Structure 1
């Protein structure tokens, strides 16, 4: 028998030598050149060494055996190669290692890969390969590691792969696989790691996998697997990591769960339909580090974890744990032994009782504390500031009461603070301003009072500020307008007064502005039109007045509510061009004139304008009176008052160039006569002269003005008592009653003109202020006239 074995061994070696010499390295060279020819042309530069001038074994990514100089390893990972994988790859018959991962190969995995019977390592992960997993891979009987991660392969897992009995690691994650797991996988008794996560596989886990007794890592997450917890898994006592999250598993977990799987380190079974209680034996697994049982239908109490010192994550949110009573949170004290605890997620359960003081003794490593949507009562203890590592604190939708601890300002790494929908009271502590990394602050639906702390301006990374539905008063701090990253500014239903700060336009990333149902007043700042990212504007239920500022640049806006205010003027026609507009409510204001009829104004469910007595026209569904053209009153053909205080005056001011007046006597600023450079201050001076000319009816070159007696001094000497003496008579004979508001408007208009004509450039009125005051005059004029009519 010994001689026969020796003969067979010699014969086999002879055949191997014959094969090696018969194919030689020329076969490998040709196979690789064919492989290169199928690589997309623009990426072949990475294989520039693959040519006849270089020895084969010096080519990029190629390794040869020492004895026969045949290619044994091809490592082309991460070279950004595209194209398809040539079937010639199957001619590299001495290949033991093939890594084409992290490229952009398309097409299919060639069936010829199955010819590589010496192959031990195959990685084609992170490509664009389709066409399914070739059954011919089953011929690669020496395979130890098979990795096809992140390819749109599709189809199912071939049952033939059950013959790869030497396989240690299998990664079919995110391959768009369908169908069931084949029972033949139970033959892979050497498997230590297997991943099928992120596919569309279904059905129950076959009992045959119970034979995979060496399994340490099993991933089944994000599929459509169903049935009870797979009984076969209870036999895998060597399991360290078990991932089954987001499938359709159901039923109860065995009470002896922790005894049968004593070596678990990470357990994630969230997002299923498990029922019953959490096995108390889970707390016997001393090696546990991460536990995820969230998003199930678990009931009962939460076990203690004294014997799990290395616990890092405990995620139990969105179940039905607890009984809405005291004692539900007693297990928290056991977690004080878990010195590495990082995440504690208990939200969306039935946990009752007072906020446990023991929480403040948890690990300083704790980054996430989530207890939202429970029935937790009592106060937040001052010692909450001990949890210095906190990054997320979520306590919303509970029954917490009392003031906010000032020690929250110690949590310098806090990024999310959500305490909304509780019964918290007192003032918002200024120490919140210490949280310079804060991105989300949500305090809505509480009983907070006092003012909004200006220190919030220090939270320079803040994205969402939500403090609505409280009892806050005072004004909106101008410091908030420094939060340039802000996406949401929401403070509705408080008692905030004052106006919207003028520099709101600095919030250029703002998407949602909600300041409705407060006591705000005044005119909206023109800078609102600079918030080009805006999608939602809620201003209803305040006392804002004046015209709607120019916000025609906010073309992405979807919802606007300005109802229940005192806005006046006409409805801007640019709303017609807001293609994304879903809701525009301008009801119960003082708008006047015709309603636009194009674009979104053709839909009465999108645009609401009721409660504006002086509106007319629009589509018939709005049920407004028709607009009737009227002859202007005798003597108004408004240089009329309306035409000089109209919005057009201030707008033409913004467009005014001093080119046309700079060299004209009487209109040029004094500094130009002394060689001064053109500036906006000079334009202001020229505009001021124009205003005085229009309302006095006298040019600055009028023969009346000689020497130091100018249009400026003429006007100034008549104010305030003799305003009617210098006013253009056409204004006084246009059918208007001489008195208020005409006299008062004239006083302010002349004052604006004089302030624009100050001799010193730095003392002149700013362009924005001049425009604002003229617009305000017009609104006061119309408002008083409407009141007089009533």
Structure 2
């Protein structure tokens, strides 16, 4: 029995060891095989990822070949234990392509970073297979579509950054009833500057204090993961002010940024109950109304307060002066009233103060406020308000100040001594009532790059050193008593002081007076002779002197009998046909006057006289004129113009229904056209022998030649302002009636005001806004008090991307990038350029004529904007 038991035990032990050994032998090869298969899967996934890259300008994927183990490829990191891919980092490598769905096979991947490239199309849903993923960063690309719901399976995800893409849809918190149940470890979620829409989910305010929700890419708080930061900057989210109330539960909130969205409602007083740790509060570019609550001082840790471009009203509460840590105060483009509070002088750490485009009145507080205490301030914007009294001299103590913009107010008196502002770069005091002597000390400011003192009542000599050596950087027009300066400023010479020696003065008088009488006599005789010659000259001689006359029969033949097939346009006083003159074969445009309409004959005569003497490369050229009778013995008057093969700007901005032509004028082309039209108006207003007012500047009157050079046409609405008979001409115009086109006509014309160059500037401003927004001033979307001017004004500067023609930010930008190479800054440059142009359009189309820009300034500003925009591209 014992023997049998021992034998059994021996057999059992041998059997056990044999099975154990066999299992070990089987296990080791399987493990090795699995590792090899996993490695091969990772390699194939990476190669497929590479195959989807269409452009690799830096050659970072050149190492992705058989010569190197894939764990040594650029951007790839493998784990030490299993040699599986755990990190794929190709940040800011200018790669172009799509994201391969095979990345879902990188099952050990923990960090995936493709930020600041040009990946497009959608995010593949296969990324949901990366269950070990902790960091997923695809920000600053061109990705489209919605965020894949499959990401909810990546439960270990800590950092998800998808900002600055073309993603759309709702904010993806509907992945579950509570975001914490789906992505329990999420700490960073960046969704800035996408196209998300819809309301903010109510569950958001219940998020844990460890959650970090979006911010700008350069935010210094990026690495602080233990505070709550909420930012949905630059989307299309909507909701009422109750959303702000719900955030009072977030006890550790540090940054709140919901700028550039569609939130609205009355600003709740409960906003003052937000976390006392709040440092950034940014609500700009929305539709919040109401007063700024005085209890805002409860947020005593605020560094930045942004409420610009809303509908806020009332006064700035005096308690705002208690925010002693404030670095930036932005309240621009609202409906705030009252005086600027004295307490602002307590904000000694303030870097930027922006109160422009409100209705503030009164004076800049100086004594009580001690504005000179703001010695850290770098920028002050109080322009376009109703501030009055004198500019305080204590501004001269702000030694750090670089920008001082106080234009468009009612300041009076002299410009105070600002000698302490040696670092000042931009100074704009234009469009006020400043008087007294010109501030000579400004020529010693070596940092100045722009000075605008135009439209004041300054007098005296303008210096010719320092900034005043550069006429393009100095604006002085509208000060009729200024003199001297460099020749490019075109100022009158200063009067010579009387010589002390009386005998010398008498000698000069004895020599000058006889010559003066002789010169006056010669001028008188010349005027009489010219007047007699004009009386003998027939009405159309001036036209015929430069252009050959043409008969009705020739025009009939040239236009195919004025056939409807040759009809290319129709206006208030005439129709336009295209035709070909024989025998030269010259293509022309023939404008036939509608004599059935009242005053058409007068319009024709005025246009003939004006166009015969006007020559400018941006004005349509008249070839000849015809004043005859047709075969039915009816009066016939026509003007023959140079033909413009690219038609009118109207057809390019607003193609007719069913027309195959696309709106493909890119940004630079539109800037060039805008400059051309401004140049034409500058010539008409300032450089003609007799000043000309156009009265009907609109897209259909802007014609484009082969090179898309713009030519302003249709002077049927123009009137000449004779220097010797302005009142007579104006009264004649008023008897004729107000001319213009609905939407472009200056508002003062509707109230019986006489025509002026200010009216042309208004038309031009509306034209400029139409060119860069793509909307007519009569667009159906405008109702009540909303019009093209107001809608753009409300959007600037933070919502500029919402109002501009989207072609300029999509196809147009892509065309520019393809021609000059991709640039991460290109979109920002486009937006900055468009903002500057629309600001000019707003200034030109101001309701009050005195507030509008001078057309000469418009031309210079546009040339400057174009130069700044194409400068880096010329280098590329």
TM-score range, shorter chain: 0.5 to 0.7
The answer to whether 1:192 aligns with 2:201 is: no
Query: Which residue among 418, 432, 446 is the counterpart of 2:442?
Result: 432
The answer to whether 1:453 aligns with 2:564 is: no
SS at the partner of 1:454? coil
Cα offsets for 1:561-591 (capped at 9, x unmatched) = xx9xxx9996547654698455463899489
1:385 is matched with which residue? 396
| C-alpha distance in 1 between matches for 2:341 and 2:203 | 46
CA contact (8 A) 1:269 1:292 kept: yes
| RMSD value, Cα | 4.0
Within 5 Å, which residues of 2 pair with 1:523-672?
571-572=614-615, 576=620, 580-581=676-677, 583=681, 585=684, 589=689, 603-605=714-716
The answer to whether 1:31 aligns with 2:45 is: yes
Within 5 Å, which residues of 2 pair with 1:60-75?
60-75=74-89
CA contact (8 A) 1:329 1:351 kept: no
| C-alpha distance in 2 between matches for 1:334 and 1:273 | 29
| C-alpha distance in 1 between matches for 2:183 and 2:712 | 69
Cα offsets for 1:183-207 (capped at 9, x unmatched) = 5656753653213899xxxxxxxxx
Cα distance, 1:427–1:362 mapped onto 2, change above 3 Å: same
Query: Which residue among 415, 418, 425 is the counterpart of 1:415?
Result: 425
| C-alpha distance in 2 between matches for 1:42 and 1:301 | 53
| C-alpha distance in 2 between matches for 1:132 and 1:413 | 48
How high is the TM-score relative to the length of structure 2?
0.51
How high is the TM-score relative to the length of structure 1?
0.56
1:308 is matched with which residue? 323
CA contact (8 A) 1:263 1:287 kept: yes
1:342 is matched with which residue? 351
CA contact (8 A) 2:78 2:87 kept: yes
- Measured after TM superposition, the shift of residue 149 of structure 1 is 1.8
Instruction: Identify the range of structure 1 (29-38 vs 156-165) with the bigger mean alpha-carbon deviation.
Output: 156-165
CA contact (8 A) 1:329 1:353 kept: no
CA contact (8 A) 2:215 2:230 kept: no
The answer to whether 1:333 aligns with 2:341 is: no
The answer to whether 1:40 aligns with 2:49 is: no
- Measured after TM superposition, the shift of residue 240 of structure 1 is 1.0
Cα offsets for 1:297-338 (capped at 9, x unmatched) = 2313422345433211112233344435xxx53223333xx2
1:226 is matched with which residue? 239
Cα distance, 1:459–1:343 mapped onto 2, change above 3 Å: farther
The answer to whether 1:403 aligns with 2:414 is: yes
Within 5 Å, which residues of 2 pair with 1:264-275?
264-275=278-289
- Measured after TM superposition, the shift of residue 18 of structure 1 is 9.7
CA contact (8 A) 2:411 2:433 kept: yes
CA contact (8 A) 2:265 2:287 kept: yes
Cα offsets for 1:707-745 (capped at 9, x unmatched) = xxxxxxxxxxxxxxxxxxxxxxxxxxxxxxxxxxxxxxx
CA contact (8 A) 1:395 1:420 kept: yes
CA contact (8 A) 2:48 2:102 kept: yes
2:302 is matched with which residue? 288
- Measured after TM superposition, the shift of residue 496 of structure 1 is 7.0
The answer to whether 1:55 aligns with 2:69 is: yes
CA contact (8 A) 2:198 2:238 kept: no
1:484 is matched with which residue? none
Within 5 Å, which residues of 2 pair with 1:613-762?
none
SS at the partner of 2:86? strand
| C-alpha distance in 1 between matches for 2:88 and 2:281 | 36
1:352 is matched with which residue? 362
- Measured after TM superposition, the shift of residue 58 of structure 1 is 1.3
1:85 is matched with which residue? 99
| C-alpha distance in 1 between matches for 2:690 and 2:98 | 69
| C-alpha distance in 2 between matches for 1:590 and 1:349 | 40
| C-alpha distance in 2 between matches for 1:601 and 1:126 | 42
CA contact (8 A) 2:91 2:113 kept: yes
- Measured after TM superposition, the shift of residue 443 of structure 1 is 1.9
CA contact (8 A) 1:34 1:88 kept: yes
SS at the partner of 2:103? helix
SS at the partner of 1:585? helix
| C-alpha distance in 1 between matches for 2:143 and 2:289 | 39
Within 5 Å, which residues of 2 pair with 1:226-245?
226-230=239-243, 231-245=245-259
Within 5 Å, which residues of 2 pair with 1:513-524?
none
CA contact (8 A) 2:455 2:479 kept: yes
| C-alpha distance in 1 between matches for 2:286 and 2:611 | 56
1:744 is matched with which residue? none
Cα offsets for 1:10-40 (capped at 9, x unmatched) = xxx99x9799647431211121122222222
- Measured after TM superposition, the shift of residue 238 of structure 1 is 1.2
- Measured after TM superposition, the shift of residue 72 of structure 1 is 0.8
The answer to whether 1:179 aligns with 2:179 is: no
Cα distance, 1:353–1:101 mapped onto 2, change above 3 Å: closer
1:260 is matched with which residue? 274
| C-alpha distance in 2 between matches for 1:83 and 1:387 | 51
What runs of 5+ residues in structure 1 fail to find an aligned partner?
Answer: 1-12, 199-211, 482-488, 499-562, 592-597, 614-621, 623-790
1:369 is matched with which residue? 380
Cα distance, 1:153–1:258 mapped onto 2, change above 3 Å: closer
1:442 is matched with which residue? 452
Cα offsets for 1:337-384 (capped at 9, x unmatched) = x2x211112332334245423444223221112223334333223332
2:479 is matched with which residue? 470
Cα distance, 1:333–1:46 mapped onto 2, change above 3 Å: closer
1:317 is matched with which residue? 332
| C-alpha distance in 1 between matches for 2:461 and 2:334 | 38
| C-alpha distance in 1 between matches for 2:192 and 2:485 | 51
| C-alpha distance in 1 between matches for 2:712 and 2:91 | 58
CA contact (8 A) 2:238 2:263 kept: yes
| C-alpha distance in 2 between matches for 1:19 and 1:303 | 75
CA contact (8 A) 2:209 2:250 kept: no
SS at the partner of 1:90? helix
| C-alpha distance in 2 between matches for 1:590 and 1:286 | 63
Instruction: Identify the range of structure 1 (65-74 vs 343-352) with the bigger mean alpha-carbon deviation.
Output: 343-352
Cα offsets for 1:180-229 (capped at 9, x unmatched) = 4455656753653213899xxxxxxxxxxxxx996233334553423124
- Measured after TM superposition, the shift of residue 138 of structure 1 is 1.1
2:229 is matched with which residue? 216
SS at the partner of 1:89? helix
Determine which structure has the larger helix proportion and give its number. Answer: 2
| C-alpha distance in 2 between matches for 1:345 and 1:380 | 17
- Measured after TM superposition, the shift of residue 73 of structure 1 is 0.8
CA contact (8 A) 2:327 2:350 kept: yes
| C-alpha distance in 1 between matches for 2:246 and 2:133 | 31
The answer to whether 1:165 aligns with 2:174 is: no
Cα distance, 1:370–1:229 mapped onto 2, change above 3 Å: farther
- Measured after TM superposition, the shift of residue 44 of structure 1 is 9.0
SS at the partner of 2:120? coil
Task: Report the number of matched residues.
Answer: 495
The structure with more radius of gyration:
1
Cα distance, 1:181–1:310 mapped onto 2, change above 3 Å: closer
| C-alpha distance in 2 between matches for 1:590 and 1:45 | 63
CA contact (8 A) 2:690 2:721 kept: no
CA contact (8 A) 2:85 2:106 kept: yes
What runs of 5+ residues in structure 2 fail to find an aligned partner?
Answer: 1-26, 218-224, 496-605, 622-641, 645-675, 692-702, 706-710, 725-732, 734-876
- Measured after TM superposition, the shift of residue 146 of structure 1 is 0.8
| C-alpha distance in 2 between matches for 1:363 and 1:450 | 32
- Measured after TM superposition, the shift of residue 289 of structure 1 is 0.7
CA contact (8 A) 1:220 1:243 kept: yes
